[in-house]
Amino acid sequence: MNDKHMSDRDLVQACLSGKVDAYQKIMERYSGKAMALALNMLRHREDAEDVCQEAFVKVFNNLDRYDPQQDFKNWFYTVLYRRCLDHMRKRKRFYSFMVKFRNEPDLEAALMRQGPARNPGLDPRLLEVLSPREKMTLILWANEGYTGEEIASVLRCSPSTARVNLYKARKKLKAMLEGEDVALQNG
């Protein structure tokens, strides 16, 4: 069978039987989507590339744990989302450390501003009001057309939680688009 017409499950099976090159086909399918998702989450191109690379390695090393009953894309997005969260935590720790180390209170804000500046066209303030979980929910809903159930399978939460997160994300985004300051409402 032509590799292009092979399903994700078939390609995973090929990988598990020792054909590492089959994984290249999987990566070709998901590199663009992964990059867009990571870029939306992290707003920094180099960070997004690092996270995508790590996610692809992680997924390959855990292919034997993949449940064929589950959608491969959703499983991959779960891994990618968790890598993004890890990266965000590390970045936050690094910024906090740098601020303490250099004793410059404004450094954190300056460093945080560097990320968005490298991605013109993306207004960082619009997504900044969303929590990582809300951001991921919004990305999956808007870019992938996911339903509450599908978002829940990626975020490993209940569909009702996913739908509530989506409601909050859409509401905050709308308020931001209309120029309202919802940052204070986050607390």
- Residue numbers of the site for another protein (CB under 8 A)? 20, 23-24, 27-28, 31-33, 35-36, 39-40, 49, 52-53, 56-57, 60-61, 119, 121-123, 126-127, 138-139, 141-143, 158-161, 163-164, 167, 169-171, 173-175, 177
Using only C-alpha atoms, the chain has a radius of gyration, in whole angstroms, of 18
Q: Which is nearer to another protein, 36 or 112 (CB)?
A: 36
State the nearest-atom distance from the C-beta of 53 to another protein, in Å.
Answer: 5
Q: Which is nearer to another protein, 110 or 177 (CB)?
A: 177
Q: Which is nearer to another protein, 96 or 158 (CB)?
A: 158
Q: Which is nearer to another protein, 75 or 166 (CB)?
A: 166
State the nearest-atom distance from the C-beta of 168 to another protein, in Å.
Answer: 8
State the nearest-atom distance from the C-beta of 70 to another protein, in Å.
Answer: 22
State the nearest-atom distance from the C-beta of 85 to another protein, in Å.
Answer: 18
